[in-house]
Amino acid sequence: MREFLLAVPSDILRAGIKTKIKNFDANYQVVASVSTLNGLREAAKKHPFATVVLHSQLAGDGTIDGWRRLYQRYGDLQLILWCERFQDVLDFQCNVPNVEGFLMANATNEELEQACANVSRGQMFVAADIAEYLARNPRTQEFRDLLSILSRRELQVTQMIAKGILVGDIAKHLNISTKTVNTFRYRIFDKLGITGDVALTHIAIRSGLVDIESERRYGK
């Protein structure tokens, strides 16, 4: 029996996904359906080997760190990410090492079914529109270069700076001190050979670490 945990804030969307998964395969069982990160934590305690269908904005900007902490404790969880926007794909790619499936909010029944099947077999699944977006992106090589230079935490700090988030807010979000955030900043500057946040933001945009069009569209 393949267990699924649904972590989606919308009751209607969560109910629809639950119905679809149950109808895909008699061996699929939705063992928990939650709308908050705390609910997901409680469900993971009881079902640490499940496949999680996680909405990319379940806890807003805290979703990534929440998942990272959860995965550190329950390393056998599998993840199908339900993305609201392409920026969410980039954010999770940079900060989360274990995403088995990527779906967009407009996913078809067939894509959801294929994602469940692939992950159940230990294979990855990337929805067609996400694959097309990544393939079209002329900044893919620069993105990979940045991944090879910076640690995941440094990438996370880079993204947040490029989005205009203040050091104090970054510290609160990551649960670290402002001094530690600045330590990361200067380490990033040194690795990239730059001297300030403006140059760092240009690199983040140029490499595709931050999708400016997506940020504008969603008012970020």
Closest CA to 216 of 164, 144, 172, 174: 164
The pLDDT value given to residue 167: 92
Place of tokens 């409680």: 42
The pLDDT value given to residue 216: 44
Q: Which helix (H) or strand (E) holds 179?
A: helix 178-192
> What beta strand segments (E) does the chain contain?
2-7, 28-34, 51-55, 78-83, 101-104, 125-126
Decide if pLDDT at 138 tops 60: no
Sequence ranges of the domains in the chain: 2-135, 140-217
The pLDDT value given to residue 137: 63
Domain 2-135 matches domain 140-217 at the CATH topology level: no
Mean pLDDT of the residues in the chain? 88
Report the helix count and the strand count for the chain, using DSSP H and E. 12, 6
Name the percent of the chain lying above pLDDT 90.
Answer: 55
Whether 78 contacts 54, CB under 8 Å: no
Whether 106 contacts 128, CB under 8 Å: no
| pLDDT, tens digit (0-9, with 9 covering 90-100), for 166-180 | 999 999 888 899 999
What would the two tokens of residue 196 be?
């300030």
| pLDDT, tens digit (0-9, with 9 covering 90-100), for 179-218 | 999 999 999 999 999 988 888 888 887 777 776 555 444 4
Whether 51 contacts 78, CB under 8 Å: yes
Q: Top-level CATH class of 140-217? A: mainly alpha
Closest CA to 198 of 155, 153, 161, 148: 161
Name the percent of the chain lying above pLDDT 70.
Answer: 91
Amino acid at position 46, single letter: K
CATH 3.30.1360.40 is the classification of domain 2-135: no
Average pLDDT, integer, range 67-91 = 91
Q: Looking at 117-121, 147-151, 196-200, which range is the least confident one?
A: 147-151
The pLDDT value given to residue 96: 81
Q: How far apart are CA 24 and CA 20, in angstroms?
A: 6
Q: How far apart are CA 173 and CA 63, in angstroms?
A: 11
